[in-house]
Chains A and B, each alone.
Chain A
Amino acid sequence: MPNGNARSGPITLLVGTKKGAFFLHTDADRSAWSLDGPHFLGHFVYHVVLDPRDGRTLVAATKTGHLGPTIHRSTDFGRTWQEAPAPPAFPKAPEGETGRVVDHSFWLQPATAREPGVWYAGTSPPCLFRSEDGGETWTGVAGWNDHPMWGTWTQDGADGTPDGSILHSINVDPRDSTHLYIGISGGGIFESPDAGATWKPLNRGCAADFDPNPDPEYGHDPHCVRLHPQAPDILWQQNHCGIYRLERPGDVWERVGDNMPREVGDIGFPVELHPRDPDTAWVFPMDGTDVWPRTSPNGHPAVYRTRDAGKSWERRDAGLPREHAFMTVLRQSMTTDAGDPVGVYFGTTTGQIWASSDEGDSWRRIADNLPHVYCVECAEFRR
C-alpha cells in the first residue's frame, strides 16, 4: 500500500451533535484523548469542518430547534466564533410567488487548494450555495438551484430524510475545481463539468428498489458519496440500496456491496476512504430489513473494510460491543486521519465516539454520553 504523504501530527476530531459541537484532541500517537466543549451548547451542529488549506479556519453549519439556520466561523481553532454575515439564503420571491426558505445547511465542503477561501454548502431543501470569502457570505449556485429539472430531480425537495431532503456529498475534483459531484437524498447523484452551470444525473447501475421504474435515470437515494483525493477518477457510494464503486470516465456504478456477507447486507449511511490507497474503504452496515431499524444488525456492531476495491470485505469488530448495541452511524459521522497506519473514527446517535489507530482492526471508545452525533471530521490544526 502506498504511504506517501502520510502525516502523523496531532489531530482533532470535530464532533457535531444535536446539542452542540465537541472537539477531541490527541497527540501524534493517538493514545490519549481530551474532550473540549461544548461549543454552541443547545444548537444543532450538522457539520463542522476545518479548512485544510489554512489549517485554522473552522466553518460550522448551525441552527437551533427554534431559530433560523446560520453559519459560524472561527479563525482561532474554535476559541471564538463569529456568525457569517450572509449565511445561505434564497432570493426573495417576486410579489405573489412562494419563495424557497433554507431550513438548514447540512454539508460543508472546502473547494480545492487552487481556490483558497472557496467553500460549498449543501442545504435542505436540496440546494447548493458557494462562498468565496471563507464562509462569510454565501450565494446560491443558480445552475443547480434554478435548474429547470430541479423540481423533478429532487421531487420538489419534498421527499427525504426525517430532517428533510438534503443536498450532501459535495465532491470537488482536486484536478479541476469546476468539476463537481453532489448527492441528493431521494434524487440521486449529479455531476457538473462547469462549476455548477450545468448538471446531469450519474446513477446508472444503481438500484432504486423503491421506484417502480426498474432503471430510473434519477430518483435514487445516495447516502454518502466519496471521491478519492489521490485517485479522483474513483468514486465510492453508500446508498439506500447498497455499496457502489465507479471508475471514471465510466458512468455505470458497480455494486461492490454484493460481496458483503448476505446476513449483514450492504445498507448503511457512511462510506469512508483510505487517504492514499483507493482500493481501501470502510463502511458501517445497518439493518435495512423490515421497517428499517437502521441499527447495527442483530445489535452486534461492526465496521467492514475492503482492501481490494470491494471484491471482498473483512468484518472488523474487535473492541466493539458483542451484543445489545443498536448503533446508528450517520453519513457524516465516520472519518479517517492521514496517519500511517490510518486512524478511523465514527460517532453514534447514542453519543459515543469510537476510534481505531490500526485501520479498523481494533476499536476503543474515546467519548461517551455526548448528544446524538451528526458528524465527525478529522482536523490537523496548523498553530
Chain B
Amino acid sequence: MKVSIPTPLRSYTGQEAIVEAEGRTVAEVLRDLDRRHPGIRFRMIDEQDQIRRHIKIFVNRERVAGIEAPLAPDDEVQILQALSGG
C-alpha cells in the first residue's frame, strides 16, 4: 500500500513523498517501512511502541490512536507531523 511521508522524514526515503510498504496493521506497515528505510520507525514511534507526540498517523484520512490499528490492502496511510516551536 502507499504511505505518505512528511518532509522531516524524507531523508530516509530518498526524498520520496509516497513509498510502498506492506502489512495488516499500522504496526506491521511501520516495521516494513523500517526494513525498507532503516531508522525511520524510531523517529516516529518510541521504544514503548507509542506514537511520538508530534507525529500523527491517518488511515483513509481518519487519525489512528495507536499502531495496532488494522489495515486493508487498499488502505491509504498518511504520516503527518505537527510543527511547533521556533
Could you list which residues of chain A lie within 8 angstroms of chain B, going by C-beta atoms? 64-68, 70, 83, 85, 87, 89-93, 98-102
| Given A83-B39, A85-B38, A85-B39, A68 and B8 contact (CB-CB distance below 8 Å) | no
Contact residues, B50-84 vs A (CB, 8 A)? 50, 52, 54-55, 81-84
Tally the A-B contacts, defined by beta carbons under 8 Å.
54
| Given A66-B83, A68-B52, A90 and B39 contact (CB-CB distance below 8 Å) | no
Q: How far is the CA of A64 from the CA of B82 in the complex (A)?
A: 12
A89: chain B residues within 8 A (beta carbon):
42, 46-47
**Distance of B15 from chain A, by nearest CB (Å):** 15
Q: Which of A64, A90, A100, A102 contacts B8 (CB 8 A)?
A: A64
A99: chain B residues within 8 A (beta carbon):
47-48
Q: How far is the CA of A85 from the CA of B39 in the complex (A)?
A: 6
Q: Is the CB of B47 within 8 A of A90?
A: yes
Q: How far is the CA of A100 from the CA of B47 in the complex (A)?
A: 8
A85: chain B residues within 8 A (beta carbon):
38-39
Identify which of A66, A67, A102 gathers the most chain B CB atoms within 10 Å of its CB: A66
B81: chain A residues within 8 A (beta carbon):
66-67
A91: chain B residues within 8 A (beta carbon):
47
Q: Which of A65, A83, A87, A101 contacts B48 (CB 8 A)?
A: A101
Identify which of B9, B39, B42 gathers the most chain A CB atoms within 10 Å of its CB: B42
Identify which of A68, A87, A93 gathers the most chain B CB atoms within 10 Å of its CB: A68
Q: How far is the CA of A46 from the CA of B45 in the complex (A)?
A: 21
**Distance of B67 from chain A, by nearest CB (Å):** 13
Q: How far is the CA of A68 from the CA of B30 in the complex (A)?
A: 15
Closest to A67 in B: B43
> B44 an interface residue at 8 Å Cβ cutoff?
yes
A68: chain B residues within 8 A (beta carbon):
42-46, 52
| 16 additional contacts (CB under 8 A) given A68-B52, A70-B39 | A66-B81, A66-B83, A67-B9, A67-B43, A67-B44, A67-B81, A68-B45, A68-B46, A83-B38, A83-B39, A85-B39, A89-B42, A90-B47, A92-B48, A101-B50, A102-B47
**Distance of A145 from chain B, by nearest CB (Å):** 13
B38: chain A residues within 8 A (beta carbon):
83, 85
**26 pairs, CB–CB < 8 Å, chain A vs chain B:** A64-B8, A65-B54, A65-B85, A66-B82, A66-B84, A67-B9, A67-B52, A67-B54, A67-B81, A68-B42, A68-B43, A68-B46, A68-B52, A70-B39, A70-B43, A85-B38, A87-B42, A89-B42, A89-B47, A90-B48, A91-B47, A99-B47, A100-B48, A101-B46, A101-B50, A102-B47
Q: How far is the CA of A89 from the CA of B48 in the complex (A)?
A: 9
> B16 an interface residue at 8 Å Cβ cutoff?
no
- CB-based closest 8 A-B pairs: A66-B54, A89-B47, A67-B43, A99-B48, A101-B46, A83-B39, A68-B43, A65-B85
Q: Is the CB of A67 within 8 A of B8?
A: yes
Q: How far is the CA of A368 from the CA of B82 in the complex (A)?
A: 31
B49: chain A residues within 8 A (beta carbon):
92
Q: Is the CB of A92 within 8 A of B82?
A: no
Closest to B50 in A: A101
